[in-house]
């Protein structure tokens, strides 16, 4: 290690003279100021003579090393704040409070300490590095230097480098470190501001990781402080904790400081003690419940009365720290175990995981919280749901990537799933929990139940019997390399190859049994692909052959370096054409108990290569067949999934329904399938035997099977008048009419397109019922069906009672789909257009409404080819223009005798059925024309990772954004495709 470090002496700074700073082309710290804030010049402060001399000494050192320079005409001026050191010297800080108030906040985030601890623990060897005066290695731009000016008895100076105390200094430094080491963070190293940790799973790789770090430091001229660096250590101190291969421990110095604290005598002493405890709260079980007597001492207007209860809590914490637990970071591929308990007014939680043996549980995180004043009044069920929701938010970074087994006395998930209409806080908790894969497990006699109902003090107790759960997907994919292939092998072997040439593309695979029997297979690809794509096709083809023969352990051989190295994760899969194949291959691999990939020279893969070449060149006529080696036709890439009809008579939602009903999974479901089913079931609700899906605005959508869907997708024509009536509301209308009306209630008869409308000040449920009775039922008769949207004033007990009295079926259109009641929506649009042209003043629109209705009723509708008036009454209406200037029709009717007029009227009525029949034919033709026009505009859109997309905003009623607000958000970038 010493010999290695001597090669990189230039990355260390032994004094300020060795520190030149990072290039301004990489980073500078700028100081933008808000124009609303005027510059502030602080008045000089007075110092004692001895302190003034110490300040002068530090100023001279910083001038000599070019950290500060003389300032001549500063606009902002601050005062120094000398801070004594243990050595007797002082550190000169600057009071930048005024400057910080005038600077906008840089929101670049600092890393989460607990995530860094989890990522660092569990490694065999680590190195801890600290940058030399890290802030001073970042330069200030010349135009911003004067803003850092400070006044001393020895002159006015400003910083040439980034000083301590600035508002955004930490964000600038963290951004710099993230930029310089972005490809190494969370892999070979972790960074927290100026602290750098190099970690290695194996000791032999540590020098390689250190070399990569030092070369990067040398490239960007970033210097380390050798006095604060430790290299090749199995254990080290990080951010106030001890990390090692064993896990995460509390720093013994912090334990000693807490145990040596005397009994608090003031509220400040209590706050100091609780502050130290809170820093290590991750390690303490039921911290809130234990410290409850101490929290009571911090209430306002309460004198400090240290009683026996406080002393017991104080001593209990100190005794607990005699043997603090060792926490471990979670390991991927294994489920988590979460214990929840609710004591009087407090929440307790511990997150754990089985160790490598599967027999012991190890703690990951302890969590506790006191119920708020409002939460304390919740029922037991609501407290359980509240507890689970709060815990999932606090431990979200753990739960998102693992299946979590919840052990508690009450199943909060089942309660939330069985509630048909979740509102308020229950709906909020249900939405929070829907993104996690949580499985409830009944409470068992597990270790630690005596203390807060969960494991607490002895996570390594050998007498503990853990939960016995079988996880078939663990260690599914085992990959490796082999220099040679043995002819005699106890496992099944797969040889595969792909070929793409001028004749086409083909794939071949040979499956060899342990007894040496060969099972060849080949396929001709009927789509264009590259050689690499063909190799992946051949691999997937061979794996499917093995699965069909129920092979569980397999060794796959290939002469494709790309495929093998990408499967070994030695090469990154970047090609967008190859990435879907890579994901599909990994999905198939999980179905094997053991799958190993090995590289093979092309000369040793002759059989598979010949099959691929043959299948690519052969012409495969439909009337011929090859019996010895069957060459199939493959029309689609292997990663493209095909939706097929499920076997049996079960509907598509049967698995979801059975899981909610009895908690059962479909047969042969993998662990991933079960997790996906659990997450999906949280969005559904079972009412008897009818399954509904919840949506974001708390409405329910009924799940239907194929037959019901086919029936609903058919065109439902209205063959005669007064069968179907649609109703809707126009408003709120601003400005209101002169009589105060702000709404128009509109009803349309679907066949004739006859419209009734009336203005109102408020559209209450009573107004709707009276309108339906007076304008529809009493005027035209009882309709068969009433169709409305889901508004509350159109769906209530008064309207339901009226419909029930007159045997009217009340139907609701689908949510967020106004096309389901398109006739009344189109009528609304047309009425508004007519009224807009007729109004002379903005507040007289209610007076023009009857004339607008007349214009609408006497105009020919495109969808029917006739006027609503003629279809309703069998004749055309006499218009005002025909009275003022008599038309031929009016003149003829005025000269008719009464008998002749009656006869003509009978003839008109006798022809009305024929006219309505023609309207039906015209309407069907019009619907087909509209469908063709609409379908021309509909194009299949597929999105790939990296594409920019817009997200549609659904018109949730609680989010009124106005008629002219955009109906989309974005753009967003597609990160991952959930379905191929």
pLDDT at 976: 79
Gap between the Cα atoms of 123 and 238, Å rounded: 14
Q: Which fold has domain 249-320?
A: Alpha-Beta Plaits (3.30.70)
Mean of the pLDDT values across residues 412-439?
Answer: 72
Confidence of residue 715 (pLDDT cuts 50, 70, 90): low
Confidence of residue 157 (pLDDT cuts 50, 70, 90): very high
Task: Tell me, yes or no, if the two domains 492-634 and 715-874 fold the same way.
Answer: yes
pLDDT at 77: 92
pLDDT at 448: 36
E-assigned strands of 240-304? Answer: 241-244, 248-250
Max Cα distance, the chain (Å): 127
Mean of the pLDDT values across residues 183-202?
Answer: 88
The CA-atom distances, in angstroms, between 895 and each of 248, 881, 892, 901, 949 are 107, 19, 5, 9, 70
- Per-residue pLDDT tens digits for 245-286: 888 998 888 888 888 888 888 888 888 888 888 888 888 888
- Per-residue pLDDT tens digits for 481-493: 333 333 446 678 8
pLDDT at 382: 81
Residue (of 524, 535, 582) closest to 560 by Cα position:
535
Q: Which fold has domain 2-241?
A: HIV Type 1 Reverse Transcriptase; Chain A, domain 1 (3.10.10)
Gap between the Cα atoms of 57 and 71, Å rounded: 18
Range 715-874 classified under CATH 1.10.290.10:
no
Which residues have a Cβ under 8 Å from the Cβ of 972 and sit 6 or more positions away?
A: 948, 949, 950, 951
User: Of 475-484, 498-507, 592-601, 652-661, which range is least confident?
Assistant: 475-484
Gap between the Cα atoms of 533 and 226, Å rounded: 51
User: Of 232-236, 320-324, 357-361, 796-800, which range is least confident?
Assistant: 357-361
Q: What is the pTM of this model?
A: 0.51
Q: Of 135-144, 435-444, 909-918, which one has max mean pLDDT?
A: 135-144
Q: Is the pLDDT of residue 128 over 70?
A: yes
CATH number of 336-442: 3.10.20.370
- Per-residue pLDDT tens digits for 810-859: 888 877 666 667 788 888 888 888 888 777 777 788 888 888 888 888 88
Average pLDDT score over the chain: 78
Domain extents in the chain:
2-241, 249-320, 336-442, 492-634, 654-712, 715-874
Contact criterion met (CB below 8 Å) for 543 and 536: no
Structure tokens at 958: 């609680």
- Per-residue pLDDT tens digits for 624-648: 333 334 455 555 565 554 444 455 5
pLDDT at 462: 40
Gap between the Cα atoms of 642 and 81, Å rounded: 71
pLDDT at 633: 54
The CA-atom distances, in angstroms, between 177 and each of 31, 117, 180, 231 are 19, 18, 5, 20
What CATH superfamily classification does 492-634 receive?
Ribonuclease H-like superfamily/Ribonuclease H (3.30.420.10)
């Amino acid at each position: 290690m010493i010999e290695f470090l001597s090669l990189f002496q230039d990355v260390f700074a032994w004094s300020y003279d060795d520190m030149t700073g990072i290039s301004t082309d990489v980073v500078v710290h700028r100081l933008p100021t808000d124009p609303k804030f005027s510059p502030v010049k602080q008045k000089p402060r007075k110092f004692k003579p001895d302190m003034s001399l110490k300040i002068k000494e530090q100023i001279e050192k910083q001038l000599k090393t070019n950290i500060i320079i003389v300032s001549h005409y500063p606009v902002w001026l601050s005062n120094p704040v000398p801070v004594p050191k243990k050595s007797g010297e002082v550190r000169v800080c600057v009071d930048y409070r005024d400057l910080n108030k005038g600077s906008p906040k840089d929101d670049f985030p600092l890393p989460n300490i607990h995530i860094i601890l989890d990522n660092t623990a569990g490694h065999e060897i680590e190195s801890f590095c600290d940058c030399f005066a890290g802030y001073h290695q970042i330069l200030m731009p010349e135009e911003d230097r004067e803003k850092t000016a400070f006044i001393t008895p020895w002159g006015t100076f400003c910083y040439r480098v980034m000083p301590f105390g600035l508002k955004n200094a930490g964000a600038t430094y963290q951004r710099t470190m993230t930029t310089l080491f972005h490809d190494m963070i969370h892999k070979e190293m972790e960074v927290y501001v100026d602290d750098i940790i190099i970690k290695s799973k194996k000791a032999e790789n540590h020098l390689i990781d250190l070399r990569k770090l030092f070369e990067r430091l040398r490239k960007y001229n970033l210097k380390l402080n050798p006095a604060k660096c430790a290299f090749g250590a199995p254990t080290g101190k990080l951010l106030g904790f001890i990390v090692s291969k064993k896990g995460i421990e509390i720093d013994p110095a912090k334990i000693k400081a807490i145990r040596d604290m005397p009994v608090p005598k003031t509220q400040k002493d209590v706050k100091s003690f609780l502050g130290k405890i809170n820093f290590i709260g991750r390690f303490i079980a039921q911290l809130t419940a234990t410290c409850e007597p101490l929290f009571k001492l911090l209430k306002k207007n309460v004198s400090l009365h240290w009683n026996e209860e406080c002393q017991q809590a104080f001593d209990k914490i100190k005794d607990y720290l005699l043997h603090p637990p060792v926490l471990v970071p979670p390991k991927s591929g294994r489920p988590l175990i979460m214990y929840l308990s609710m004591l009087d007014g407090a929440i307790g939680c511990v997150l754990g995981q089985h160790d490598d043996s599967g027999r012991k549980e190890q703690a990951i995180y302890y969590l506790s919280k006191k119920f708020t004043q409002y939460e304390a009044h919740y029922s037991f069920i609501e407290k359980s749901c509240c507890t689970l929701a709060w815990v999932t938010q606090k431990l979200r970074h753990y739960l998102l990537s693992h299946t979590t087994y919840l052990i508690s006395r009450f199943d909060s998930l089942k309660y939330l799933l069985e509630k048909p209409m979740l509102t308020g806080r229950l709906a909020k908790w249900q939405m929070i929990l829907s993104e996690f894969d949580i499985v409830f497990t009944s409470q068992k006699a597990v270790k630690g139940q005596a203390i807060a109902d969960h494991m607490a003090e002895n996570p390594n107790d050998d007498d503990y019997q853990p939960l016995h759960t079988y996880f078939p997907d663990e260690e599914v994919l085992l990959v490796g390399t082999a220099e040679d292939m043995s002819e005699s092998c106890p496992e099944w072997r797969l040889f595969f190859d792909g070929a793409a040439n001028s004749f086409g593309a083909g794939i071949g695979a040979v499956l060899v049994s342990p007894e040496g029997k060969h099972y060849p297979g080949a396929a001709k690809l009927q789509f264009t692909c590259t050689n690499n794509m063909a190799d992946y096709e051949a691999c997937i083809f061979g794996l499917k052959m093995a699965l069909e023969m129920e092979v569980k352990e397999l060794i796959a051989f290939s002469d494709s370096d790309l495929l093998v190295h990408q499967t070994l994760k030695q090469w990154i899969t970047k090609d967008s054409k190859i990435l879907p194949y890579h994901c599909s291959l990994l999905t198939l691999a999980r179905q094997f108990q053991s799958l190993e990939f090995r590289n093979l020279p092309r000369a040793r893969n002759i059989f598979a290569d010949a099959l691929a070449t043959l299948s690519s060149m052969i012409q495969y006529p439909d009337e011929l067949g090859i019996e010895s080696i069957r060459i199939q036709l493959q029309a689609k890439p292997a990663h493209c999934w095909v939706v097929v009809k499920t076997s049996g008579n079960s509907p598509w939602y049967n698995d979801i329904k059975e899981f909610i009903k009895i908690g059962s999974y479909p047969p042969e479901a993998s662990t991933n399938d079960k997790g996906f089913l659990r997450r999906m079931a949280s969005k559904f609700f079972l009412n008897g035997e009818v399954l509904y899906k919840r949506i974001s605005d708390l409405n329910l959508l009924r799940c239907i099977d194929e037959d019901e869907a086919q029936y609903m997708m058919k065109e439902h024509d209205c063959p005669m008048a007064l069968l179907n009536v649609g109703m809707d509301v126009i408003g709120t209308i601003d400005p209101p009419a002169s009589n105060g009306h702000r709404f128009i209630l509109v009803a349309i008869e679907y066949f004739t397109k006859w419209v009734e409308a009336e203005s109102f000040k408020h559209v209450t449920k009573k107004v709707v019922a009276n309108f339906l009775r007076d304008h529809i039922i009493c005027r035209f008769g009882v309709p068969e069906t009433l169709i409305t949207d889901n508004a509350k004033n159109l769906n209530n007990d008064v309207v339901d009672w009226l419909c029930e009295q007159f045997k009217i079926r009340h139907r609701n259109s689908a949510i967020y789909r106004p096309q389901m009641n398109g006739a009344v929506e189109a009528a609304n649009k047309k009425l508004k257009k007519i009224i807009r042209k007729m109004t002379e003043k903005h507040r007289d629109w209610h007076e023009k409404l009857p004339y607008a209705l007349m214009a609408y009723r006497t105009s020919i509708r495109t969808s029917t080819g006739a006027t609503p008036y003629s279809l309703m009454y069998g004749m055309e209406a006499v218009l005002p223009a025909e009275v003022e200037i008599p038309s031929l029709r009016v003149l003829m009717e005025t000269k008719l005798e009464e008998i002749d007029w009656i006869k003509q009227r009978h003839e008109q009525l006798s022809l009305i059925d024929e006219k309505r029949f023609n309207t039906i034919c015209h309407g069907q033709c019009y619907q087909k024309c509209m469908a063709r026009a609409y379908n021309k505009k509909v194009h299949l859109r597929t999105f790939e990772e990296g594409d920019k997309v817009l997200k549609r905003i659904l018109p949730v009623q609680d989010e009124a954004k106005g008629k002219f607000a955009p109906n989309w958000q974005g753009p967003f970038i597609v990160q991952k495709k959930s379905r191929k």
